[in-house]
Amino acid sequence: MSRFTRATDLAVFTIVILALWQCLYDYAGEVAITAPMATFRNAGDLLVKPEFWPNVGATMLAFAYAFAISAVAGVALGVLLGVRRFAGEVAEPILAAIYTIPKVTLYPVMLLAFGLGMSAKVAFGVIHGVIPIVLFTMSAVKNLSPTLLRTVRVMRLTGWQAASTVIVPAILPEVISGLRVGFSLTLLGVLIGEMFASQRGLGFLIINGINGHNVRMMTAVTLIVVLFAVTANSLLLALDRHIHHHR
């Protein structure tokens, strides 16, 4: 596909979304949602306000911790369960079941266990994000071609050498895909965490906007969050495709 058609598609796409949004606004009115242009203006106003940034900082800090923990623990656990076949077979359905339960229900447990504040948000992000990373990594390790493993043995590579020169490069594309899914879910977890019980952060601003009928604030923060999520996801997706392509 040429770069030109892709740019056209993106432009058409953006215009359609904005038009739908405008229609929604015309239908529902000022009590539910603000108009697209006004929202962009409000979002711009928010971005230059000094009291906005501590909230961004709180969300980003919680998100960074949660994602770092999810990524490290997820990849480590995934590799372990992939290498130990039997343990993997025991664990996979359990993990899949945990993945499908509504984790919001566990929120009170997190709060009771970690208290109000940063650690509860981080824990909530981790329980959302870690499982897809484990599952993707595990299936990548399990599907490693046996030839590669035999090569490792023939060449008498040490564990570290095998990991750094063969196994990691071989599973990297799937791990990146897993990290992309984990990234989105961790962000979701942190934001939901902030919506329920927090004094700070973007999720808190949204729920605060709702409770105080501050539609402008709510829509503007929602826009900022969505733009951030979509941008981050597009970057990771580009990386993902780049790596898959260059294999």
Partner 1 sequence: MKGRQAAMAVRVAVVAVFLLLLEVLCRSGVISPLVMIPPSAMLISLCEMLLAGDLTDDIVRTFGTVAVAFAAATVVGFAVGALVHALPRLRRALDPILASYYSVPFFVFYPLLVALLGLSVLPLIAIAFAFAAPAVVMSTLLGLDRVPPVLLKVARIHRLGPASTVFHVVLPAALPSILNGIKLALAYAFIAVIAGEFILSGGGLGYHIAYAYESFDNKTMYGLMLFVLVSAILLNGLLHMWEGRLLRRRQR
The site for partner 1 (CB under 8 A) is made up of: 1, 9-10, 12-13, 24, 27-28, 31-33, 86, 89-91, 93-94, 96-97, 99-109, 111-113, 181, 183-184, 187-188, 191-192, 195-196, 203, 206-207, 209-210, 215, 218-219, 221-222, 225-226, 229-230, 232-234, 237
Q: Considering the complex, what minimum distance in angstroms separates the CB of residue 104 from partner 1?
A: 4
Q: Considering the complex, what minimum distance in angstroms separates the CB of residue 199 from partner 1?
A: 16
- Specify the residue for token string 């260059």: 246
Distance of alpha carbon 107 from the chain centroid: 18
Q: Considering the complex, what minimum distance in angstroms separates the CB of residue 153 from partner 1?
A: 23
Q: Considering the complex, what minimum distance in angstroms separates the CB of residue 69 from partner 1?
A: 19
What is the rounded distance in angstroms from the CA atom of residue 215 to the CA atom of residue 209?
6
The smaller minimum CB distance to partner 1, of residues 1 and 48, is found at: 1
From residue 239, give the alpha-carbon distance in Å to each of 3, 105, 141, 223, 242.
18, 34, 20, 24, 5
Residue 147: count other Cβ atoms within 10 Å of its Cβ: 8
Q: Are 78 and 134 in contact (CB under 8 A)?
A: yes
How many helices (H) and strands (E) the chain has is answered by 11, 0
The smaller minimum CB distance to partner 1, of residues 65 and 107, is found at: 107
What is the rounded distance in angstroms from the CA atom of residue 27 to the CA atom of residue 21?
10
The smaller minimum CB distance to partner 1, of residues 24 and 166, is found at: 24
The smaller minimum CB distance to partner 1, of residues 94 and 154, is found at: 94
Q: Considering the complex, what minimum distance in angstroms separates the CB of residue 121 from partner 1?
A: 13
Q: Are 83 and 167 in contact (CB under 8 A)?
A: no
The smaller minimum CB distance to partner 1, of residues 37 and 90, is found at: 90
